[in-house]
């Protein structure tokens, strides 16, 4: 569902979800944090931001920051040329810049009586369940100790194949991991518009989104800036992950001082509101997996069965694609290709291909071993929430 408002409308007060949010993840992009010319941290801005963090912490909120900036800071310190960097140059830049970044948060947090904690994640830390649980545990302990975790991708070791690449999706993964009530993406625009506002004067601001429809995806365009990897597109991807896991999300401008205080004061933002029914922790993890290993296509009967809460049987599957092992994540698609959800499949790709369309009682005879009756058990499945 979409509502639009005229560009000059300001909401008088923040939505109740903001006041109620107890655990908040905030994503800060490189363009907000670093001065492109000097290659330094914009300390006025970061000071005002950390004032806001301190205010929220004082009000009893738990705050997790996901901050970019390591590459932007490091490339300047290393005097790397302007323009796109080679992977190894980004890695080198990140290893230099991350030190300054961590220092800045440490100093500014300490000046407000807070303790900052650095967490550097690689894709495998959220994609592999055991590592995911471990990272989650560390963040939980830090929050219980009243520290402020500051997360970034571990860019120094991340290579193209194993990286998140943008901190929008990383922050959504983190929000999902810690069951945050709200994810805030500080952007260079004050929300989602019907078209990219920079090159369309007719573009209308959208204050509220409750479902990521193809219409919403089409509005996102691709508004990345030179510094940050994410445009509106990755923000919508982030919204999908956040909403599927039950976290609300806000896109608002970070181009002002005190951007979080502004949300409390009713600044114009786009709210993405999640359904309130709880999602189990395991399903949250499944739905946010960023790199599924394959996909399965269902017939109409199986699609109906899934909608009523049933497991997926081999009989209802018409086709499988990809190469995956038992336990890997796959996308579950309707006959027409619509994504119905994601799940952990109980058979490796070759075995799955041999048993699809068959009755579960035939599995043992076909494969020569007794496997599960279900291809994807309902407990291992996270359906797209309507």
Smallest distance from ligand GLU to CB 349, Å: 32
Contacts to ligand GLU from residues 333-372, by CB under 6 A: none
Q: What is the 3-state secondary structure (H, E, C) of 271-299?
A: EECCCCCCCCHHHHHHHCCCCCCEEEEEC
Site membership for ligand GLU, residue 237 (CB under 6 A) = no
Closer CB to ligand GLU, residue 249 or residue 329?
249
Closer CB to ligand GLU, residue 126 or residue 311?
126
Whether the Cβ atoms of residue 167 and residue 68 lie closer than 8 Å to each other: yes
Q: Which stretch binds ligand GLU (CB under 6 A): 41-49, 70-78, 206-214, 260-268?
A: 70-78
Whether the Cβ atoms of residue 170 and residue 151 lie closer than 8 Å to each other: yes
Site membership for ligand GLU, residue 223 (CB under 6 A) = no
Tokens of 207: 């204050």
Site membership for ligand GLU, residue 166 (CB under 6 A) = yes
Site membership for ligand GLU, residue 70 (CB under 6 A) = yes
Whether the Cβ atoms of residue 356 and residue 319 lie closer than 8 Å to each other: yes
Residue 207 CA to residue 223 CA, distance in Å, equals: 19
Site membership for ligand GLU, residue 230 (CB under 6 A) = yes
Contacts to ligand GLU from residues 40-69, by CB under 6 A: 68-69
Smallest distance from ligand GLU to CB 360, Å: 44
Q: Which stretch binds ligand GLU (CB under 6 A): 227-235, 273-281, 286-294, 337-345?
A: 227-235
Site membership for ligand GLU, residue 154 (CB under 6 A) = no
End-to-end CA separation in angstroms for the chain: 11
Q: How far is CA 347 from the centre of its chain?
A: 28
Whether the Cβ atoms of residue 185 and residue 168 lie closer than 8 Å to each other: yes
Q: Which stretch binds ligand GLU (CB under 6 A): 15-23, 147-155, 179-187, 333-341?
A: 147-155
Closer CB to ligand GLU, residue 105 or residue 297?
105
Pairing of strands 248-253, 182-187: parallel
Site membership for ligand GLU, residue 153 (CB under 6 A) = yes
Whether the Cβ atoms of residue 65 and residue 174 lie closer than 8 Å to each other: no
Site membership for ligand GLU, residue 126 (CB under 6 A) = no
Site membership for ligand GLU, residue 270 (CB under 6 A) = no
Site membership for ligand GLU, residue 228 (CB under 6 A) = yes
Q: Which stretch binds ligand GLU (CB under 6 A): 135-143, 228-236, 315-323, 344-352?
A: 228-236
Closer CB to ligand GLU, residue 228 or residue 311?
228
Site membership for ligand GLU, residue 167 (CB under 6 A) = yes
Helix (H, G, I), strand (E, B) or coil at 119: strand
The number of helices, as runs of H, and strands, as runs of E, in the chain is 15, 15
Residue 83 CA to residue 92 CA, distance in Å, equals: 15
Q: Which stretch binds ligand GLU (CB under 6 A): 56-64, 223-231, 277-285, 327-335?
A: 223-231
Residue 239 CA to residue 250 CA, distance in Å, equals: 9
Helix (H, G, I), strand (E, B) or coil at 342: strand
In this structure, the dihedral spanned by the alpha carbons of residues 351, 354, 359 and 364, taken in order and rounded to 10 degrees, is: -50
Q: Which residues bind ligand GLU (CB under 6 A)?
A: 29-30, 68-72, 152-153, 155, 166-167, 228-230
């Amino acid at each position: 569902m979409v509502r639009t408002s005229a560009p000059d409308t300001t909401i008088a007060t923040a939505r109740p979800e903001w006041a109620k949010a107890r655990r908040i993840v905030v994503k800060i992009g490189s363009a907000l944090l670093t001065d492109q010319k000097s290659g330094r941290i914009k300390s006025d801005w970061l000071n005002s931001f950390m004032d806001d963090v301190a205010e929220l912490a004082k009000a009893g909120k738990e705050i997790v920051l996901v901050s970019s900036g390591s590459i932007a800071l490091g490339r300047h310190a290393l005097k790397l040329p302007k323009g796109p960097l080679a992977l190894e140059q980004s890695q080198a830049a990140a290893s230099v810049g991350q030190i300054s970044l961590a220092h800045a948060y440490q100093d500014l947090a300490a000046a407000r009586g807070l303790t900052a904690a650095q967490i550097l994640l690689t894709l495998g830390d959220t994609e592999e369940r055991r590592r995911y649980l471990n990272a989650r545990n560390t963040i939980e302990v830090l929050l219980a100790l009243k520290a402020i975790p500051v997360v970034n991708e571990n860019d120094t070791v991340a290579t193209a194949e194993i990286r998140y690449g943008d901190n929008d999706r990383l922050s959504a993964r983190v929000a999902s991991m810690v069951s945050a009530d709200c994810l805030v993406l500080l952007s260079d625009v004050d929300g989602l518009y019907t078209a990219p506002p920079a090159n369309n004067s007719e573009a209308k601001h959208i204050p509220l989104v409750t479902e990521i429809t193809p219409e919403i995806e089409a509005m996102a365009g691709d508004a990345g800036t030179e510094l940050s990897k994410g445009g509106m597109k990755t923000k919508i991807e982030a919204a999908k992950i956040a909403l599927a896991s039950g976290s609300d999300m806000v896109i608002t401008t970070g181009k002002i001082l005190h951007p979080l205080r502004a949300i409390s004061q009713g600044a114009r933002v786009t709210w993405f509101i999640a359904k309130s029914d709880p999602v189990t922790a395991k399903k949250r993890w499944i739905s946010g997996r960023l790199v599924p290993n394959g996909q399965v296509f269902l017939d109409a009967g199986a699609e109906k069965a899934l909608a009523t809460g049933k497991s997926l049987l081999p009989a209802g599957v018409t086709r499988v694609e990809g190469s995956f092992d038992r336990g890997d994540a796959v996308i579950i698609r309707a006959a027409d290709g619509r994504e119905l959800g994601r799940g952990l499949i109980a058979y490796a790709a070759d075995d799955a291909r041999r048993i699809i369309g068959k009755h579960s009682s035939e599995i043992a005879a076909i494969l020569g071993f007794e496997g599960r009756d279900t291809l994807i058990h309902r407990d291992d499945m996270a359906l797209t929430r309507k």
